[in-house]
């Protein structure tokens, strides 16, 4: 079994506080499941990569295209599962371990509950996604119950699916809606494995 972790960024330190990036990378390093490889793309190609391994520096149109590129590279390199990471957020130490258990059970997309944090890492409120009921019904009502910064996916899923780069900032919702109607299996872990940062310069807000 091979596991990949993908990160993608553009003008990272113009958008995010360096403390947030450090906090995120530390949370990846401190995962209880540590047998993974990181794949990184800097899609502005204007600075060095953060990790220096499996790193690509290519100018692309937006973050959805960057996600398609780097996730594909991870699976092409032989990964069975890939974990998405957003560099302004951070993660519970058991995130990879617990999501991997569900992926091994045959789920294609695994996410989790989460809590919102402010710019200084203070928890502002909790988000219990599982209480919203059936995943498919929610998605088809355009209620995105899949926390994208906490998504882990299977190779089976990626073999036939991609983000539509013209649909940002709803590229993930549009993908989930199609995939769940095509029979792919989704699961939300009823635990807060993601600390989701709210700030004015989030990627989806600035259109990068």
> Which residues fall within 8 angstroms of residue 148, CB to CB, at 6 or more apart?
84, 86, 111, 172
pLDDT for position 206: 39
* Structure confidence at residue 23 (pLDDT): 97
pLDDT at residue number 44: 86
Tokens at residue 158, please? Answer: 């990626």
Question: Does 69 score more than 90 pLDDT?
Answer: yes
In the chain, pLDDT over 90 holds for what percent of residues? 85
Indicate whether 203 pLDDT > 70: no
Torsions phi, psi for 187 (to 5 deg): -145, 140
For the chain, the domains span 3-206
pTM: 0.93
- Express each pLDDT in 147-195 by its tens digit: 999 999 999 999 999 999 999 999 999 999 999 999 999 999 999 999 9
Q: Are 97 and 81 in contact (CB under 8 A)?
A: no
> If you classify domain 3-206 with CATH, what class do you get?
alpha beta
DSSP string, 84-136: E--TTSEE-TTHHHHHHHHHHTT-SEEEEEEEEE-TTS-EEEEE-GGGG--HH
The C-alpha atoms of residue 149 and residue 136 are separated, in whole angstroms, by 19
Token pair listed for 4: 């990949």
| Residue 75 confidence (pLDDT) above 80 | yes
Mean pLDDT of 5-28: 94
| 198-205, Cβ contacts within 8 angstroms, sequence gap of 24 or more | 198/116, 198/117, 198/118, 198/124, 199/88, 199/118, 199/119, 201/15, 201/16, 202/88, 203/15, 203/63, 203/86, 203/88, 204/168, 204/169, 205/169
CA–CA separation, 100 vs 172, rounded Å?
Answer: 20
Q: How far apart, in whole angstroms, are the C-alpha atoms of residue 195 and residue 170?
A: 20
Residue 98 has pLDDT above 50, yes or no: yes
């Amino acid at each position: 079994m091979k596991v990949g972790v993908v990160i993608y960024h553009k003008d990272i330190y113009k958008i995010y506080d360096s403390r947030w990036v450090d906090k995120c990378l530390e949370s990846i390093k401190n995962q209880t499941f540590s047998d993974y490889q990181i794949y990184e793309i800097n899609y502005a190609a204007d600075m060095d990569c953060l990790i220096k391994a499996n790193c690509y520096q290519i100018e692309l149109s937006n973050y959805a295209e960057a996600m398609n590129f780097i996730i594909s590279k991870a699976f092409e390199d032989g990964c069975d599962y890939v974990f998405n990471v957003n560099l302004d957020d951070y993660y519970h130490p058991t995130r990879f371990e617990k999501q991997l258990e569900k992926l091994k059970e045959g789920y294609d997309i695994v996410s989790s509950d989460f809590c919102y944090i402010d710019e200084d890492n203070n928890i502002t409120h909790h988000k219990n996604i599982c209480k919203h009921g059936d995943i498919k019904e929610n998605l088809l009502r355009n209620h995105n119950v899949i926390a994208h910064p906490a998504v882990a996916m299977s190779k089976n899923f990626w073999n036939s699916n991609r983000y539509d780069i013209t649909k940002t900032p709803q590229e993930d919702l549009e993908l989930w809606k199609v995939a769940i109607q095509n029979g792919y299996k989704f699961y939300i872990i009823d635990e807060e494995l993601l600390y989701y940062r709210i700030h004015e310069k989030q990627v989806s807000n600035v259109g990068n």
